[in-house]
Amino acid sequence: MLAPNGALYLCDVKTFRDQGTLFPDGVAGYVMGHIDSLDIDEEEDLALARAIVDARLRVIDS
């Protein structure tokens, strides 16, 4: 199931004005995993995001 996650929306001004939506006709999606589309609303969310980034950096440095 796909759902908007707020990570990225691209829409030119004319299309937005003409159709009144960020999801105009012919829109294409970009599939992101749960980790890549983590929603940071609370302090705990930020701590989780920092832990994920730290873990990924350790893997890259290995």
Judged by DSSP in three states, 54 sits in helix
- Give me 4's structure tokens: 């908007």
> Left, alpha or beta for 6 (phi > 0: left; psi -120 to 50: alpha)?
left
Instruction: Indicate yes or no: pTM above 0.75.
Output: no
Q: How many CB atoms lie within 10 A of CB 20?
A: 8
- Give me 56's structure tokens: 């990924």
Per residue in 1-53, pLDDT (tens digit) is 778 887 888 888 999 999 999 888 888 888 888 778 888 899 999 999 999 88
Closest-CA residue to 22 (of 45, 44, 47, 4): 4
